[in-house]
Amino acid sequence: MGIRFILLVNKQGQTRLAQYYEYLTLEQRRALEGEIVRKCLARTEQQCSFVEHRNYKVVYRRYASLFFLVGVDNDENELAILEFIHLLVETMDRHFGNVCELDIMFHLEKAHFMLEEMVMNGCIVETSKQNILTPIQLMDKAS
Amino acid sequence: MNPFSSGTRLRDMIRAIRACKTAAEERAVVRKECAAIRAAVSENDQDYRHRNLAKLMFIHMLGYPTHFGQMECLKLIASSGFPEKRIGYLGLMLLLDERQEVLMLVTNSLKQDLNHSNQYIVGLALCALGNICSAEMARDLAPEVERLLQFRDPNIRKKAALCSIRIIKKVPDLAENFISPAAALLKEKHHGVLITGVQLCTDLCKISTEALEYFRKRCTESLVKVLRDAVNSPYAPEYDIAGITDPFLHIRLLKLLRVLGQGDADASDCMNDILAQVATKTESNKNAGNAILYECVETIMSIEENSGLRVLAINILGRFLSNRDNNIRYVALNMLMKAVLVDAQAVQRHRATILECVKDSDASIKKRALELVFLLVNDSNVKPLTKELIDYLEVSDQEFKGDLTAKICSIVEKFSPEKVWYIDQMLKVLTEAGNFVKDEVWHGLIVVISNASDLHGYTVRSLYRAFQISSEQEILVRVVVWCIGEYGEMLVNGIGMLDKEDPITVTESDAVDVVEIAIKRHTSDITTRAMCLVALLKLSSRFPSCSARIKEIINQHKGNLVLELQQRSIEFNSIIEKHQNIRSSLVERMPVLDEATYSGRRAGSLPTTVSTSKGASLNLPNGVAKPAAAPLVDLLDLSSDDTPAPSSSGGDFLQDLLGVDLALPSLSGTSQAPSSGADMLLDLLSIGTPPVQNNVSTADILSSGTDTKKPVVPLERLSSLSSPLPTQVSSAGASPVMDLLDGLTPNLSTPGDNGPVYPSTVAFQSSSLKIMFNFSKQPGNPQTTSIQATFTNMSSNAYTDFIFQAAVPKFVQLHLDPASSNTLPASGSGSVTQSLHVTNSQHGQKPLAMRIRIAYKVNGQDVLEQGQVNNFPAGL
């Protein structure tokens, strides 16, 4: 299992989406999110996109006011995760049209559906944006 | 409709939450919403279940408890419509986890949905199962998942593949069922199926060697072909990232090839060409290309050796390392750490660049680089590398100093070619970043200094100089004070001058100045001050000219608020005033500290015995008399006792003896742990035994087993300190000690008198357990008896969690030491011993009596035995 959690955080440090692929209690999550977000947000643009925290390696990328943070195992390919974050953003862009924080807040379940199509149990399932979005579009049509 | 339930839409709730200005407001909104949702749940409100769950997900994300929504998920999953199921499964994955019993209830719904005619519903169920499945669910549903691996729609097959990974991880026995379906997935064209299929194969290989052999033999070639096709594939817009078609697939394939190639020459051979192609042809100007190169390098370094490929890989890393992008440099360092194990020579070539990275401004890169440097150090390069690191220590930022100091110390300790170099480097570190140095490191330094008899003079002079430059580093100050206390006259007289040294003139009064400054600094903590007092005491006999001044400094602490310092001050003062005749022998230089004992202690004795002895000592509700309350009792018992157990109380007693009661964290207000304080002081006073923390020391003794002499050592040393008659170890040892505490004149009892001998008795015997008591008494203290209890297991089952408890009449005081173990092997094949110290205040009038209770576990069952011991020999 490579990916252990995916977090979306705005630049005030508020969580906007959280998906864990291992069990943590609510308290553990809050603590972890607090620590990691503080660490990542304090870093500058020039510094590298990887932060080691406890036994996680956090790969993060900033898009406008949103930070995408992915916690991975130590033997995961960090550069590939960066690419994965970009793929996630592109997929959201294609669906929402230039995605912003509010899109994700008000369509939290859709964001989760997308994530579900991309990652399962910490592994990447699908890398084609078209394949990821088809089930979601079908559902939109039906409702 | 219930007027209270879900009055607001999801959108409105989110707006309300966003509008909150404080956390308290947010909590209020969430509380209100949760109340409404609870009401809806209890009303069994169908219409808004969907919306309520969406709200709960949002609330959950904010970090509020949402367990009450769990049953709602199950209801939604059980409903027939797709949108309800969709949100139900999502809620299940987010709000639940495999620890919840609720999960049992969902197994049936999952089973139905896995067999559903609508493939999207099947997909939902697979996804949920893949994310949350437990071991029981895995067993129940594995056949369905196996079947779905051959489903007609590739989107189902890919999810089934990842679901299988979860299943085989939960139940490894099921792995063999998945081997051939997994192999079939590798022939697919659909990228999703391929990437998940490759992942499944990788995980199968990790779990089962059978699978690894299977894939190695049958799939290596086809995987190489898949990778070749991927590398050479024409432009595919859907999968294209920076001109590369699906880099994720490349990376997964390279990972699997790595697993197959590791330790197998044929498989490695088979993939050489394609790896060379990937390594040379991949574009390295974009992140995606670099990601592939990075993975490729790791595969090349892991599979069986091919020198041509290795050169390629190392060159790529070299390029990465000089890249301007920090991300690339970070992964290069990461990779070099793995490469160093394979080809240290090649990595050494980049040493200069890596050292530069240690000085980078980015904390992540620094940390990696430092770890890498640590791996690169060897006997030949330790000097220049250490110099670089120490130079950098001066300018590095505060947060990094801790890590850096720890690494430098550990390099210096491990590779130091000669003692003088070691001492020099440690002094530099102490001067630069003394406050970051860990206790064991400076304790180690003192041990080394103590052993380097030809360097004592040099060391103390260097320390003196260092102190003049930086007196702000607490740890440096401690070492300085200790060395001046021990080797002060060498400082003054310039003894043992090395060629490289500059001459230096220090008067006796200068040396005392140092200690005085240290004791008066506001930042000095209790440990440092306590050490200063000891140093002053020692100097008082070495520097007769400063004796009056020293006495005055010591006197200033007579009224100290810290009991520890006050007591030392008073005691030392009385030594100076009343015991001129023994003072000089009392404060002799410490005997050389035993390096082997010290390093052995640092390495830590058997961890298992540590834990058991800890258990035993924790489980002693009857440890009645506090050791500190009756130091003399302990003390006297100890000297006549030759069992291993007292060593732990030996620690206590020595602490008492020297007045080292540093276990006052609230008073001292420093970060110094009480135990390490004691440790330090024990070191300081050259007590060669390792009673660091009681637990550990017991374990030390126990692990050495036969070493029953050890506990006596501290006394031996002590007695040799104060009386020139080391032969009188056991009997006479106590007397000068008493003298120290009481201020009485030495009262040496006749040598060889070991007190009356008492017969051993069987204190308790049942069909399952036998307890023997051995008695010994201290001459001159008839009230106190040391009892060594030996427990023997007479049954054929081992006892665990063994606890011995004893109760005595009011006129008797009892002190129990920790037992040697809390497990008792079966059939008398081993025994546990425990020491008891009994003080009979009505000695000669009333005989001893004792009630005992023994608790233990046999095969997990608690057993309790009780008894009374009345057959103590007369005269106790």
User: Is any Cβ of chain A less than 8 angstroms from the Cβ of B746?
Assistant: no
* Residue B133: closest C-alpha in chain A: A121
Rg (Cα) of chain B, in Å, rounded?
Answer: 36
Distance of CA B659 to the CA centre of its chain: 30
pLDDT tens digit sequence for A61-114: 999 889 999 999 988 999 999 999 999 999 999 999 989 999 998 889 899 999
Q: Among candidates B455, B339, B819, which has minimal Cα distance to B623?
A: B819
For B839, residues 6+ apart whose C-beta sits below 8 A from its C-beta are: B625, B630, B633, B783, B784, B785, B812, B813, B814
Strand-pairing partners, residue B867, are B852
* Residue A113: closest C-alpha in chain B: B90
Instruction: Indicate yes or no: CB of A120 within 8 angstroms of CB of B159.
Output: yes
Q: Give me the residue spans of the domains in chain B.
A: 418-586, 761-869
Instruction: Indicate yes or no: CB of B196 within 8 angstroms of CB of A128.
Output: no
Count of structural domains, chain A: 1
CATH classification of the domain holding A120:
3.30.450.60
Q: A109: number of CA atoms within 13 Å, CB side?
A: 23
pLDDT for the residue numbered B296: 95
Collapsed DSSP state (helix, strand, coil) of residue B705: coil
pLDDT for the residue numbered A1: 56
pLDDT for the residue numbered B100: 65
Instruction: Indicate yes or no: CB of A84 within 8 angstroms of CB of B248.
Output: yes
Q: Among candidates B51, B53, B47, which has minimal Cα distance to B70?
A: B53
User: Is any Cβ of chain B less than 8 angstroms from the Cβ of A28?
Assistant: no
Collapsed DSSP state (helix, strand, coil) of residue B857: strand
For A29, residues 6+ apart whose C-beta sits below 8 A from its C-beta are: A18, A20, B63
Which of 98-137 (A) contact B at CB < 8 A?
105-106, 108-109, 112-113, 116, 120-121, 123-131, 135
Instruction: Indicate yes or no: CB of A125 within 8 angstroms of CB of B192.
Output: yes
Distance, CA of A32 to CA of A20 (rounded, Å):
11
Extract the tokens encoding B44: 């069994």
Nearest by CB to residue A47, choosing from B97, B246, B326, is: B326
Distance, CA of B88 to CA of B94 (rounded, Å):
10
Cα distances (Å, whole numbers) of residue B216 to B70, B210, B266: 45, 10, 9
Asked whether the beta carbons of B221 and B249 are under 8 A apart, the reply is no
Instruction: Indicate yes or no: CB of A127 within 8 angstroms of CB of B239.
Output: yes
B155 C-beta neighbours (distance < 10 Å), count:
22
Distance, CA of B698 to CA of B707 (rounded, Å):
12
Cα of A123 to nearest chain B Cα, Å: 7
Chain B residues close to A121, C-beta within 8 Å: 130-131, 162-163, 165-166
User: Is any Cβ of chain B less than 8 angstroms from the Cβ of A12?
Assistant: no
- Long-range CB pairs of B562-567 (<8 Å, 24+ gap) are B562/B526, B562/B529, B562/B664, B562/B667, B562/B668, B563/B661, B563/B664, B563/B667, B564/B526, B564/B530, B564/B659, B564/B660, B564/B661, B564/B662, B564/B664, B564/B667, B565/B526, B565/B529, B565/B530, B565/B533, B567/B659, B567/B661
**Phi and psi, residue B870, nearest 5°:** -115, -10
Task: Establish, for the pair of chains A and B, how many residue pairs have beta carbons separated by less than 8 Å.
Answer: 154
Secondary structure (DSSP) of A15-82: EEEEEESS---HHHHHHHHHHHHHHHHTS-TTS-SEEEETTEEEEEEEETTEEEEEEE-TTS-HHHHH
Q: Among candidates B782, B750, B826, B844, which has minimal Cα distance to B637?
A: B782
Extract the tokens encoding B591: 């005997």
Nearest by CB to residue B83, choosing from A105, A128, A139, is: A139
Chain B residues close to A52, C-beta within 8 Å: 364, 367
Instruction: Indicate yes or no: CB of B291 within 8 angstroms of CB of A83.
Output: yes
Cα of B274 to nearest chain A Cα, Å: 20
Cα of B429 to nearest chain A Cα, Å: 26
Q: Euclidean distance between the first and final Cα of chain B, in Å?
A: 86
pLDDT for the residue numbered B84: 86
pLDDT for the residue numbered B631: 37
User: Is any Cβ of chain A less than 8 angstroms from the Cβ of B157?
Assistant: no
User: Is any Cβ of chain B less than 8 angstroms from the Cβ of A51?
Assistant: yes
Complex prediction ipTM? 0.95
Nearest by CB to residue B327, choosing from A79, A130, A135, is: A79
Q: What is the CATH number of domain B761-869?
A: 2.60.40.1230
Instruction: Indicate yes or no: CB of A109 within 8 angstroms of CB of B246.
Output: no
Give the DSSP H/E element, type plus range, for residue A114. Answer: helix A108-118
Chain B residues close to A50, C-beta within 8 Å: 327, 330, 364
Q: B229: number of CA atoms within 13 Å, CB side?
A: 15
User: Is any Cβ of chain A less than 8 angstroms from the Cβ of B90?
Assistant: yes
Chain A residues close to B199, C-beta within 8 Å: 123-124
Asked whether the beta carbons of B785 and B776 are under 8 A apart, the reply is yes
Strand-pairing partners, residue B518, are none
Distance, CA of B70 to CA of B105 (rounded, Å):
11
pLDDT for the residue numbered B777: 79
Q: Euclidean distance between the first and final Cα of chain A, in Å?
A: 35
The stretches in chain B having pLDDT less than 70 are 1-7, 97-100, 600-756
In this structure, the strands spanning A3-10 and A123-124 are unpaired
| Domain membership of residue A91 as a residue range | 3-142
Alpha-carbon torsion angle B716, B722, B726, B730, nearest 10: -50
For A28, residues 6+ apart whose C-beta sits below 8 A from its C-beta are: none
Strand-pairing partners, residue A61, are A68
pLDDT for the residue numbered B290: 94
Residue located via tokens 């401004």: B361
Cα of B112 to nearest chain A Cα, Å: 21
Cα distances (Å, whole numbers) of residue B719 to A76, B287, B677, B737: 61, 72, 23, 8
Nearest by CB to residue A130, choosing from B238, B247, B294, is: B238
Cα of A59 to nearest chain B Cα, Å: 10
Q: Among candidates B130, B46, B61, B48, which has minimal Cα distance to B89?
A: B130
Nearest by CB to residue B331, choosing from A46, A79, A116, is: A79
Cα distances (Å, whole numbers) of residue B298 to B247, B331, B644, B824: 16, 11, 53, 50
Nearest by CB to residue B248, choosing from A30, A127, A142, is: A127
Distance, CA of B777 to CA of B798 (rounded, Å):
33
User: Is any Cβ of chain A less than 8 angstroms from the Cβ of B99?
Assistant: yes
Residue located via tokens 């690339």: B328
Q: Vertex B788, ends B783 and B793: CA angle to 5°?
A: 145
Cα of B671 to nearest chain A Cα, Å: 23
Chain A residues close to B247, C-beta within 8 Å: 80, 83
The size of chain A, in residues, is 143
pLDDT for the residue numbered B99: 59
Which of 70-89 (A) contact B at CB < 8 A?
77-80, 82-84, 86-87
For B79, residues 6+ apart whose C-beta sits below 8 A from its C-beta are: B85, B88
